[in-house]
Amino acid sequence: MRFQAPRGTFDILPEEQKYWERIRSTVKQIVTAYGFLCIDTPIFENSQLFMRGTGLFTDIVQKEMYTFRTKGGDYLVLRPEFTPGIVRAYIEHGMKSWPQPIKLFSIGPVFRHEKPQAGRFRQFHQFNLEIIGEGGALNDVLLIQLVFLIFKKLGIKGFTLQINSIGCSQCRPDYRKLLIDYYRKQRKKLCRHCQERLKLNPLRLLDCKEEKCRQLANNAPQVIDHLCEECHAHFKEVLESLDELGLPYILNFHLVRGLDYYTKTVFEFRLEGQNPIELAGGGRYDGLVELLGGKPTPAVGVAGGIERAISALKSQDVKVGQESSPRIFLVQLGELSRRRSLKLFEELRNKGLKVAEALGKDSIKSQLKVADKLGADIALILGQREALENSIIIRDMKSGAQETVPIERVVKEIKRRLK
Ligand code: HAM
């Protein structure tokens, strides 16, 4: 007998690892710079967690979960997504009492018993970001911005952001009724799946891919016209902030997402083409913490499919080599320079310079020690005086020679020295 990897799964061979490493390190580098902390939760969880959290009538729970019964008689599930497990951990560890919001990221495998095809697997991997404990629209925008930064840094081109608001527990029930009324009258024209969905999950009729259902969706009442004041203001703020940041988006009033916990903002990143590929998806879920037994707590999150990002890198012929160690190290001393150094850090990163720092360390000696360990060629030292004078010290790590230059010249000077 010859064994093979189970259907819908695959081995990640050594020659493929550079892609995985590139994605993991890019995600980590960007999100940790924005204060996200890593969390790993178990790969299996109590099945009730997803029945409640993801939603009883979602495709995931109805058709795609790998459920098994343990010897002790418990029903467990290989996680089909991260979010409910992370919310469980938030409640279980009393993270409510930590400074809010809690920003968490995870990278790892998830399992869905779907029909395998190109870009769709049964064991696949996600990078997952959650911000729990704050309801402001800027958190939605921050997550969207991070996904933009991640895909851009990876070198993926031609993706779009689709965005919508699906309201909250105040306004959605009325809209849902309107939608059911509308579709009931057209029932016979719906595909078989949508006739089923009409009973259990009517919002999903809006994003059915069947041509006849799509036509009906075009004339259906639009959620945007039925948002309550709060949801409307929230959505407006999200869109205005995206405009301000220059992040392009497409309003898609048929975007509803396939998980039950979403409220207000929902969004997806898609690679356009003949068959659009969903690279990442997320949204706000202000009711989930309470639904799973915690105090009412707003939250928002997103997950990206790693296999899909890799496939985009390959089809766009993006060259991925082994990671090299950072050649520049940013040292900061004192409160003002620490704040300045965050901005400088982002500017240098934007200019394509790989920079390391040890923001948690205070003394120059301990920071230079880290720089030495990392094998950096140059240390940039931003002290109180330099922060006030808008200058910076460039230190050659080998010779120890130092030179003070105006801050606006630093990129040019570094590039010259690293040539
Ligand atoms: P999702 O849209 O179900 O959201 O999955 C996120 C991403 O996982 C998709 O955009 C896609 O790239 C990838 N993906 C999904 N299914 C497959 C598959 N069978 N094979 C390969 N890749 C796949 C969630 O999972 C939510 N938990 C996201 C979230 C986090 N919402 C709030 N917080």
| 3 state SS for 44-64 | EEEHHHHHHHCCCCCHHHHHH
Asked if residue 166 has pLDDT above 80, the reply is yes
CA angle 35, 39, 44 (to 5 degrees): 155
Task: Provide residues with CB under 6 Å of ligand 1.
Answer: 81-83, 112, 114, 119-121, 124, 126, 128, 130, 259, 278-283, 285, 301-305, 307-308
Higher-pLDDT residue of 24, 364? 24
Mean pLDDT along residues 178-202:
91
Q: Is the peptide bond before 101 cis (omega within 30 degrees of 0)?
A: yes
Does the pLDDT at position 287 exceed 60? yes
Nearest atom in ligand 1 to 116's CA: 19
At 177, the amino acid letter reads: K
Q: Produce one character per residue of 41-74: b if its CB has 16 or more CB atoms within 10 Å, e if not.
A: beebbbbebbbbbbbeebbbbeebbbeeeeeeee
pLDDT at residue 404, as a whole number: 95
Atom of ligand 1 at shortest range from CA of 279 = 12
Would you state the pLDDT for residue 335?
Answer: 85
**Average pLDDT of 191-218?**
91
State in Å: Cα 262 to ligand 1 middle. Answer: 14
Q: Whose CA is nearest to atom 25 of ligand 1?
A: 81
User: For residue 91, how far is its CA from the centre of ligand 1 (angstroms)?
Assistant: 23
CA of 317 to the centre of ligand 1 (A): 24
Pocket test for ligand 1, best of 61, 81, 267, 307 (most atoms within 8 A of CB): 81
Gap from CA of 282 to ligand 1 centroid (Å): 8
The pLDDT, as a whole number, for residue 327 is 85
Token match 């230079």: residue?
368
Given a contact cutoff of 8 angstroms between Cβ atoms, the answer to whether 289 and 107 are in contact is no
Minimum-distance ligand 1 atom for the alpha carbon of 126: 8
Q: Band the pLDDT of 344: cuts 50, 70, 90.
A: confident
Mean pLDDT of all residues in 262-277:
94
What pLDDT sits at residue 375? Answer: 86
The set of residues, in sequence order, having a beta carbon less than 8 Å from that of 36 and lying 6+ positions away, is: 103, 104, 105, 129
Provide the token pair at 326: 């950072």
Q: And the tokens for 323? A: 């990671």
Q: How far apart are CA 309 and CA 320, in angstroms?
A: 13
196-205: b or e for each residue (b if 16 or more CB lie within 10 Å)?
ebbeebbbbb
Residue nearest to atom 9 of ligand 1 (CA): 280
Provide CB contacts within 8 A for 401, sequence distance 6+. Answer: 395
Two tokens at 19?
């892609």
Nearest CA to ligand 1 atom 8: 305
| Distance from the alpha carbon of residue 110 to the mean position of ligand 1, in angstroms | 9
Burial class (CB in 10 A: 0-12, 13-18, 19+), 365: exposed
pTM of the model: 0.79
pLDDT at 324: 66
Dihedral angle, C-alpha 252, 258, 264, 267, nearest 10 °: -50
CA of 303 to the centre of ligand 1 (A): 6
Predicted confidence (pLDDT) per residue in 60-94, tens digit: 999 999 999 999 999 999 999 999 999 999 999 99
Tokens of 268: 């997806």
How far apart are the CA of 267 and the centre of ligand 1, in A? 12
Taking the centre of ligand 1 as the mean of its atom positions, its distance from the CA of residue 71, in whole angstroms, is 31
Residue 281 Cα to ligand 1 midpoint, Å, equals 6
Which residue puts its alpha carbon closest to atom 12 of ligand 1? 305
Cα distance between residue 65 and residue 84, in whole Å:
14
Give me the percent of the chain exceeding a pLDDT of 70. Answer: 99
Query: 249 and 270 in contact (C-beta within 8 Å)?
Result: no
pLDDT at site 322 = 63
What distance in angstroms lies between residue 11's CA and the mean position of ligand 1's atoms?
A: 20
Answer yes or no: is pLDDT of 113 > 80: yes
Least confident residue range of 289-298, 350-359, 393-402: 350-359
Q: Closest ligand 1 atom to the C-alpha of 269?
A: 10
pLDDT tens-digit map of 14-60: 899 999 999 999 999 999 999 999 999 999 999 999 999 999 989 99
Query: Which three-class secondary structure state does DSSP give residue 281?
Result: strand
Please write the tens of the pLDDT for every residue from 222-242. 999 999 999 999 999 999 999
Q: Is 169 exposed, middle or buried (0-12, 13-18, 19+ CB in 10 A)?
A: exposed
Question: Which pLDDT score, from 0 to 100, does residue 285 have?
Answer: 98
Per-residue model confidence (pLDDT) at position 346 = 85
- Say if CB 166 and CB 266 are below 8 A apart: yes
For ligand 1, atom 17: residue with the closest CA: 120
Instruction: Inform me whether the pLDDT recorded for 376 exceeds 80.
Output: yes
Q: How many CB atoms lie within 10 A of CB 15?
A: 7
- List residues bridging with 300 in a β-sheet: 131, 284
- Which one of 291, 308, 311, 313 would you pick to mutate in the ligand 1 pocket, going by the greatest count of ligand atoms within 8 A of its CB? 308
Residue 323 has pLDDT above 70, yes or no: no
Is 185's pLDDT higher than 70? Answer: yes
Residue 197's pLDDT band, with cuts at 50, 70 and 90, is confident
